[in-house]
Amino acid sequence: MILLQRPLRGYSTHNSRLKLPLVIQRVAVISASNSARNEDFRHTLEHNNFGYAFHIDDYYTIVQGDNNARLFLNKLIEVYQTGISYDAVVITRGGGAQSDFLIFDNYNIGRAVAKFPIPIITGIGHQKDVSITDMMAHTNTKTPTKAAEFIIAHNRSFEMGLLAVQQNIVIKSQQLFLRHFKILEELKKNISLNTRTLLAQHKEKLSFSNQRIAANVKDILHEHQKKLSLKIQFTAQTSQNLLRRKNSDIEHLAGNLKLFSRACLRSKNLHLEHMQKSIALMSPQNILKKGYAIVKANGKITSRANDIKEGEDIEVILYDTILKSTVKEKIRHDGRETDL
């Protein structure tokens, strides 16, 4: 069993006061895209000795340099805005120079971590000092691997508690079984004696009832046979009359159906011709002929400027030409002044 102890610290934040779920399964990881330590974290979780399954979502960003604090903060906000109910957020980073860790002493990042509504576990690989982000987080560990071991140990602790409860239930059940076994044996003897007595009494009553029922059934069957014979004759006559009326109604409906179907088909054909003409007018090729264009960014059609960044390659599709260009500048336009 792996035992990890949370570091002692004198800071109480909203995040540190959050209660970890009994079992941590869904985890959001904020790390650099090329971080080998992040791979160590993932490998440790996915190949744990207890067979625990984890769902890990990666959120890649730059995790060094104070000047990249805004990018890191935006990634933390992105995790929150997904609306996914993560059990924990893990911040990982490998080792490096002292200056590489300045980003984790940034005030805005520390403030966001302290107020974050999901427990944050840090494993930023800094052996010597504890950063502000470490102190504001729920739990800080020294390395990404230690962070993974902490999560595994947390889940193992819950499992051990369940196993202890299970063992206690088994022991209590055995004690109850032994306690009530003698009572059940005594009840069994009493039930057996009482059952024989009741069976003998009811056997006599059942025999007398069978004789009375047999006599009554014969009289009832004879009476119902007479009534059934009369109903069969009446039903046969009624059925013939009903069939004649229904056949006449069907012939009348068939004539009306032919007339109505011809009129309906003519109406639907006219409507179909009108729709075909409308579709032809609204087709992309017809609209492009009128001077409009389609803009594609990253291989997808878009009409929102926010989907296109400066310096990005785009395609402008005209009626008979595709223009490939690079966005040099984005100028906001309210649509009020135009040369169209």
Question: What radius of gyration do the chain's Cα atoms show?
Answer: 41
- pLDDT tens for 96-127 read 555 667 889 999 999 999 999 999 999 987 65
Task: Give the C-alpha separation, 109 to 124, whole Å.
Answer: 14
Q: Which residues of the chain have pLDDT under 70?
A: 1-10, 94-100, 126-129, 334-340
Q: DSSP 3-state assignment of 300? A: strand
Other CB atoms within a 10 A radius of the CB of residue 19 amount to: 7
pLDDT of residue 274: 87
Nearest in space to 86 (alpha carbons), one of 130, 114, 116, 115: 116
Sign of dihedral through CA atoms 27, 31, 35, 41?
A: negative
**Tokens standing for residue 220:** 């009832």
Nearest in space to 91 (alpha carbons), one of 126, 128, 47: 126
The answer to whether the beta carbons of residues 30 and 122 sit under 8 Å apart is no
Task: Give the C-alpha separation, 149 to 188, whole Å.
Answer: 56
pLDDT of residue 133: 93
Dihedral, 124, 128, 132, 136 alpha carbons, nearest 10: 70
Task: Give the C-alpha separation, 64 to 109, whole Å.
Answer: 12
pLDDT of residue 3: 36
- pLDDT tens for 173-215 read 988 988 888 888 888 888 988 888 888 888 888 888 888 888 8
pLDDT of residue 128: 62
DSSP assigned state of 64 = S
pLDDT of residue 1: 33
Exposed, middle or buried by CB within 10 Å (0-12, 13-18, 19+), for 142?
Answer: middle
pLDDT of residue 55: 96
**Which amino acid appears at position 18 of this protein?**
L
Adjacent-strand bridge partners of 315: 296, 324
Sign of dihedral through CA atoms 117, 121, 125, 126?
A: positive
- What totals of helices (H) and strands (E) does the chain contain, helices first? 6, 9
